A and B are shown apart, each in its own frame.
Chain A
Amino acid sequence: MLDFLAQALTPFNLTLALVGVVLGTVIGALPGLSATMAVAVLVPFTFAMDPASGLIALGAIYTGAIYGGAFAAILVNTPGTPSAIATTFDGYPMARRGDGSLAVTLATLSSVTGGLVGAVFLLLLAPPLAKVALAFGPPEYFWLAVFGLTLISALSTGNMLKGLIGACFGLLLSMVGVAVVGGDIRFTLESQTLLGGINVIAALIGLYCIPVLIDLVATPDPHLKVAAGAGGFRLAEAARLAWRSKVNLLRSSVIGTLVGILPGAGGSIAALVSYSEARRSSKRPERFGQGEPDGIMATESANNATVGGGFIPTLVLGIPGTPPDAVILGALLVQGIRTGPTLFVQQGSIVYTFIFGLLIATVLMLPTGLVLGRYAYQSIVSIPKAVLVPTVAFMTVIGSYAIQNSPSDVVIMWALGVMGWGLNRFGFSPSPIVLGLILGQIAEQGFVQAYLIGNATGNVAGMYFGRPISLAILALALLTLFYPWLSDRWRRRRRGTPDD
């Protein structure tokens, strides 16, 4: 093992890890530039390297990009990558009230923690954990999506009905296009551009960023408040907060690793699930969504843990855990490396050198992230508003265009953004809509596939309610939904006070 560590520590590999993390962070911070794209662009360069170094470079870019997504989420309320959606919930409110640098530092500490936990799981437990991916069938994905939807109750502050209506609207938006199951062409309004459906990232940029821009130009106030005397990294304060929330950090990292193992779930769901869990177990759930540090720590540790988690099925089963993993798998194929259960034995030197490289890259994220984060924060704060608005607007346009190189995605982004602004003014917040949009396809496909399989084996009810993992997720969903009410009752009973 130690000689693999030494191989990962060669100056060349260290340089690759450092350059990869920096590039990845910058790319991830720009909305619309996803980790997938960052990895795909860099793949040809790795063909000239030996496989382990190539993998280290790609892994470093990937983990950096997932982390960089937090910058845009915190500073301009736009998830740079989908996995940073839940980071906007508390990150942006923190930045607005002047705690932007604290939020960025917290995100860095959490991302490093999550990344390390995911990579350690990859190092020590990859083959057994890959079985988790296989244990998840269609009904489990269906219930996982339902579990994700219970988060609406947390997100719809004010009026639960409006949150639920928004989620239904998001679910319907996710149905637009050609249906995977059934092959129907749904709700495209006879338009060819909608055949491919509504791109989630374009929708994210629109729903989260356009309203910010619209409100930004309406007043001469600065974009973010700057707390007096709160410059610098606020590293000590962040470290104290992180230490206080070590349980949250660890739990979220483990959730992130596990969800990352599931092909077809991904960082956004990992972050949402751990956010939901953090809120449920928090002593002050009402502060979530208002700028609660625990919220950022949960989402950022979870989404970086999916990097290590996602590599588990990629390397062990040859099934990409996340979209960037698909690109990396393709690169391995071209290099002539066969993934599979024997990879860890036959190509141990490549695999373990890579995993150590990933660990090193994750650690390097701490200094680079703090410096880059501080720079990003400083520039967002110090750029005059008149320049900030068109710059951010330009990023939304080029970002939504670059996802699929499609001008119609820019139009969709704009339309959803303006609509989102209007709806938000009347109490329909964008987050339930986004939640529906992300989870709709997973829920629908899981449900119908489970029905098809259940029907073929003559046990439809057993498919949904007769499988242990399904039941466990269902129980968690119910717990999340009724926890506030239950804990209220428990507390009352303990205190012995009558209802008032």
Chain B
Amino acid sequence: MAAGYRAEEEYDYLFKVVLIGDSGVGKSNLLSRFARDEFSLETRSTIGVEFATKTVQVDDKLVKAQIWDTAGQERYRAITSAYYRGAVGALVVYDVTRRITFDNAERWLRELRDHTDANIVVMLVGNKADLRHLRAVTHEDAAAFAERHGTFSMETSALDATNVDRAFAEVLRQIYHVVSRNALDIGDDPAAPPRGKTIDVGAAKDEVSPVNAGGCCSA
């Protein structure tokens, strides 16, 4: 066990990514699908904070993603400033079948901007995309949001695993690019927010468009 643990510790970068969004949009299941390839219909509501890590390959580097998941209820926002500290990426999650959770994404984004570095990589994630017949938020809505706020966007289904790995991978890849492009000295604190040039979201946005996203044509 100890040996396996140590092996997992081998990585080039450690990126902290936070999951935010209204209660019940599927944050915990996105996390478990990404980290352990598991989905549970019997998820317990998250209180406080939960974490998971997964190491993935980005270009020729090993990137360890440390994903943080928290409670979605509004009053919990007051206790989560420590939650955002050092985050270099975020998935703002909404439920494609519940319009209100999409409308609230803007507030979540504001929350994020208030607590994190301006260069944080943000991906708007419309989860539960498998529930096609119940859709309440269109691709166009999401695209317009992403355009307006300079974020990436993607639709996922934690249930059938569609795009989950891809959404996380894309966020990690973008973070890595920011970090490597700026040749930052992050040796002391790999989780530190990347500073310097902002990411050119305009160029990448079309590549990661709703549902059939992907197109990870890295430079």
The answer to whether A and B come from one shared complex is: no
Q: Which positions in A face B, CB cutoff 8 Å?
A: none
